[in-house]
Amino acid sequence: MEKCEAKVWYIRPQKKNAVLENPKQLGISYTGAFPIYKDEYNFTDFKGLIAFNGTTLRASEQSKWYPIIYDVKKDQQLEQVTFDITVESKNAVQIFVNGDLPKAGPLANFRSATPLAPMLFIGDYKVQQTANALFLNTNMNKAQLAVFEKEIAEIKAYYNKVLAIPYDTKNIFIEHTAIEKFNKGRTWGFASYPSIAIAGGNLGETIDEVNKKFKDSTDYPFYAHEIAHYYFGNVLQPNSTLFWFFLESTAEYLSIKASEAKFGKTYGDIYFKNATNNLRKFKAVPLNKVTEINQIGGTYRYSYGPLILRGLEQIIGEKRTFSFLKQCLNTKGKPTDYAFFKECALQSGISQKEWNAFEKQFIESENVTALIKY
Ligand SMILES: [Zn+2]
């Protein structure tokens, strides 16, 4: 077994209730060998894993590659931070820390005056550039880059229209070899605003240059989901009991809406038909009974949660559902628990009567699939 060593400091005030001054500088060094995954023995990859594939290293904020500040009083992790970091990696040709630009290795300094999640991407890779994005480790031609950029711009314009918050920041798209070979050809991705990382794909090959669109119709909803994390993930930074609902179910619901705008309402009909069929036997802990974040598991957050938002849409309509989502985005600094859900709903103009109907049908029920219309 190969071994990784990291030094970790726990810093606590000496006396109870004393206020601790943060240290001005911290040093973190990783030594020894970290496992390189490139065979079939590794079954999993996710945002929280430090992924070495032999060519690149990827470490998001969720992997805790640097000390994460934890606010004990509010029970919140502060993943978005301002920073001034020097990264040294002996054989690195390029180093990138989310929030700054990629720089030549093996030693470079990175800063961000805006609080962001400092994801790390190191290795021997090329950087491609367009007017609105940077592409790390891709190999696209000009036409492919233009089509890719057009599709992303369309998604951003749609969200700006319905949520009234522009998304002007340039994105960084990261392509890297998957470390999980269990399902051949599997690709997956995640967002650490404004970066979107895709594991296992070749971005250039996803583009239909003749018809100027993604070849595969599932790519548009995929990017729409990741782009939606700017809103639910960055503008609103979920925490507390409904963390996963406000992070993933909202992003997935918005991705369905963006895809309906692109492909027509039949997109949503097919989506909800499949989702309800797959979830007939699913048993959900009602959102008003969730006491800890992991009661909203993977299926709940990605597949079942969007049905709850669809239920709200069935009662108050699409436009007012967007007003509710806008209200969530504009309510700062509150724990995203059930009280937050209700407060934002009522403040967005949903009447007590409508809320009661929604709560009774779509929250208190352990399975809403029979109620979803398509
Ligand atoms: Zn997501």
Q: Tens of pLDDT along 203-213?
A: 999 999 999 99
pLDDT grade for 250, boundaries at 50, 70 and 90: very high
**What separation in Å is there between the alpha carbon of 79 and the centre of ligand 1?**
16
Q: Say what the pLDDT of residue 44 is.
A: 81
The per-type count for the chain, helices as H runs and strands as E runs, is 10, 18
Residue 130 pLDDT > 80, yes or no?
Answer: yes
**What separation in Å is there between the alpha carbon of 25 and the centre of ligand 1?**
33
Residue 49 pLDDT > 60, yes or no?
Answer: yes
The residue assigned the tokens 């993977």 is: 298
**What separation in Å is there between the alpha carbon of 200 and the centre of ligand 1?**
17
Q: Say what the pLDDT of residue 183 is.
A: 66
Q: Roughly what angle, to the nearest 10 degrees, separates helices 305-316 and 318-329?
A: 120
**What separation in Å is there between the alpha carbon of 293 and the centre of ligand 1?**
15
**What separation in Å is there between the alpha carbon of 230 and the centre of ligand 1?**
10
Phi and psi dihedrals of 134, rounded to 5?
-115, 150
Please give the Cα distance from 112 to 115 (Å, whole number).
7
**What separation in Å is there between the alpha carbon of 248 and the centre of ligand 1?**
5
**What separation in Å is there between the alpha carbon of 304 and the centre of ligand 1?**
14
**What separation in Å is there between the alpha carbon of 214 and the centre of ligand 1?**
20
Lowest mean pLDDT among 61-65, 143-147, 228-232, 329-333: 61-65
Percent of the chain with pLDDT over 70: 92
Residue 153 has, within 13 A of its CA and on its CB side, a CA count of 11
**What separation in Å is there between the alpha carbon of 250 and the centre of ligand 1?**
9
**What separation in Å is there between the alpha carbon of 226 and the centre of ligand 1?**
6
- As a whole number, the mean pLDDT across the chain is 90
| Average pLDDT for 148-164 | 97
**What separation in Å is there between the alpha carbon of 36 and the centre of ligand 1?**
26
Side by side, the strands of the sheet bearing 94-97 are 51-52, 56-59, 120-123, 94-97, 103-104
Q: Tens of pLDDT along 294-346?
A: 999 999 999 999 999 999 999 999 999 999 999 999 998 899 999 999 999 99
Pairing verdict, β 195-199 and 171-176: parallel
Which of 4-8, 215-219, 300-304 ranks highest by mean pLDDT?
300-304
Q: Which pTM was predicted?
A: 0.86
**What separation in Å is there between the alpha carbon of 186 and the centre of ligand 1?**
17
**What separation in Å is there between the alpha carbon of 189 and the centre of ligand 1?**
9
Domains of the chain: 4-128 (no CATH), 130-228 (no CATH), 243-371 (1.10.390.10)
Residue 151 has, within 13 A of its CA and on its CB side, a CA count of 26
